Amino acid sequence: MVQNTAATVPEYLDSLPEDRREAITAVRDVIVANLPEGYEETMNWGMITYQVPLETYPDTYNKKPLMYAALASQKNHMAVYLTGIYTSDEAREKFEAAYRATGKRFDCGKSCVRFRKLDNLPLPLIGDTIASMPVDELLAVVKEAQSPRKARKGQGKGKGT
């Protein structure tokens, strides 16, 4: 992955070739228009990131804000990262079925949807997906996932181990 060192979103966009800047800007516009209240747009991990501010949820495993979505221009493609669709098998399967129903090529990585041209990305689906998870819902999923880990960490304490 090519990591961009831009400190701000405008700086990031300015660093892109014109065709990529236009595509990333169009996807960004859809994300911003559909982003539920409580998320913030910033630069993080070398990408335009949509995240839960640490002031809202400081209890992350890496002490960094909890990422909800991101947008990046990589070496051979552009990508929109939709971590919210991986909160359950049902959410991921629903997204994939809806994506495939658009007739566009489904090119999905571990947590990203890759595209080479804007026409390859179903923007209405991206907007609906972004809008589908308010901050409190994401935090509930994260807290639920963390509770078994915290329980396992506590095992063995006070037992001479």
Residue pLDDT, tens place only, 99-155: 999 999 999 887 799 999 999 999 999 999 999 999 999 999 988 887 765 555 555
Instruction: Tell me the HSE value of 55 on the side-chain side, using a 13 A CA sphere.
Output: 3
- Return the domain boundaries, the chain: 9-146
pTM above 0.75, yes or no: yes
Residue pLDDT, tens place only, 50-71: 999 999 999 888 899 999 999 9
Model confidence at 161, in pLDDT bands (50, 70, 90)? very low
The encoded tokens of residue 130 equal: 């972004």
Residues 6+ apart with CB under 8 A from 11: 43
Residue pLDDT, tens place only, 96-113: 999 999 999 999 887 799
Give kind and range of the element (H or E) at residue 66.
strand 66-73
The DSSP 8-state label assigned to residue 36 in this structure reads P
Q: What is the CATH number of domain 9-146?
A: 3.90.1150.200
Q: Is the model's pLDDT at 159 over the cut of 50? A: no
Nearest CA among 57, 26, 37 for reference residue 134: 37
Residues 6+ apart with CB under 8 A from 60: 54, 66
